[in-house]
Structure 1
């Protein structure tokens, strides 16, 4: 049986706000389309994912989707809503008259069209009036060279996107060069390393995270920790009251905790923990930390191992603490009260938790071969891995949408 699956890579604007996601597809173990024509494979993948899980979780964001030559000639993009789709013309498409005719039709129908991994050449000049976004892979076309081409198109409506931006220095250089959008993993790496004291409120939140990882949760200890922090107390009561469903207003922490129950309490604490780490970070980081946490938890639930889902949840959530706090991860983890197995997974990438996290990160970055290798080692099947990502994506979206 064949499974297709998809990962999402955020696309950020100059202010590091997420404006959309590139949907990265994998179909079959070799990431190829051996059994069907490319346009049929693309249609099926889009139907499976863009119109189901990932379409729902795009919210008001754009979905950037690669289309091979045949799909464009057959106007496959017109099967999907133009308001939330950016049609990416794959870099291996030939700039033929036939392709130009199709691009004109898509443009006239109101679709946003992007040229993917663009290498400047005269052959593409006649396409430019129909193009909204040009994507440069800065590993293939250096920022300085891309900047010269961008200058030649000043005064046009075309916007530029820098791909494979891996560091904040590259983000800054691309921004200075005039790029409008950025794609890559610069947002999940520390912006700068600095010594910064962890505030008491954050440490309390970490202790809460440790408590919600226990089975069953010790509500008395959770109540004690919440009462230590005025802001946290206020947030909890606001969260419970705004969530609705209770005929009477919640007046005490004990009442709030009982009303919430274990699942919602875990949601609340995890969201507060990530959001309180640092305010000026890209919104992608919050969503990514929560998505990783949930997927790690779902995977551990399906493995016959001694590690608990709660531990897996924290492993995923804390995997981005270095970026959220701009400190080396080992330094951050030495300051917070979490168990050694989680620390080992995060710092040394060892143990079952380390393997699960490595697989989750490989999947999210569309490094399919690495994800498959670890998946085989953990004796997890292909369908289980794809489903946990979809379920975690929906869960994270719902959580971030909470009032």
Structure 2
């Protein structure tokens, strides 16, 4: 167990482990000549991954964008992701802001011209959608001539290319493409000097930064909830029905809000409610996201007791808020309630947890300091769980709620949450 000194909250490892999945992601900086980071290449370092497959591409991108930790994994920098040709037509790419992502396209081995030509429509389509494409130096061979105009970046591997080869390739790329060149596996000052004097302006390798491991935590939703969401979307269910599923699974809700507010999603405004998220994402993208989440999911069954408590809190606070607020504003009460145990579920301080979601200031004040109307509601919900009569009556008086109103709402919230194990 560990206790955070700022709030005294204890994070039991056993509880957190039941709520999170952990992926190990390595990131290595790509820098310019001034050693300013322009992007990060991501590598899947999870022990469960034994080979590079289309599925591992999906999981890597998902983990990067839904990453839950005390620091941003990539921030607003470019994300360089190694791809398989099988994954390039995957629906998970629909979820990304193309301007933030560089897809590293592998060569085809001993490719024939017709194979290269056959892949061209997919690559051209990705480029037209705004994705950046990176290739290794083989794209400069005559066989790959159809791909060369699509290259935004060409990587030159200094571990396999001799100095005279590099000079020829750099010169040829400068004359026949618009691509920026990246010298990778730069390990010495001499290598850096050699390629930089020939016009290479981007660099990657141990000379600048070794790959750094980042432990990416994800709240793991129940697979049954994900499947239920997928079925509703396929049936073109109403926003209300979809919102109900999100409200019943803290992991599902967290992952959606985290993803839609990430830089990789490309929205210019903050999304603060599930209804907003569903409406802005639309059914097509929501289906893609749910399918992607199912791919990354490793566990099944109902949420743990902590997740269940969060759901009850959210519903109780929403029902009490509806006594005085319109439905749209009452939804904020639900968001505060369901995210009020994120610090326990993620084993990180609450301030770090809510920083991942960019919650509104009123919600942050409630979660961190129990301030404002939402803070009073949360205090009341916690008092209902702990049977603290003094705090209960004080909070009820502040909110002008009767014991009868609160007890009825609490029973309704408990019954509503119990449906999780019955659905």
Which category of TM-score, normalised to the shorter sequence, fits these structures?
0.3 to 0.5
Task: Give the greater-gyration-radius structure (CA).
Answer: 2
TM-score normalized by structure 2?
Answer: 0.41
TM-score normalized by structure 1?
Answer: 0.43
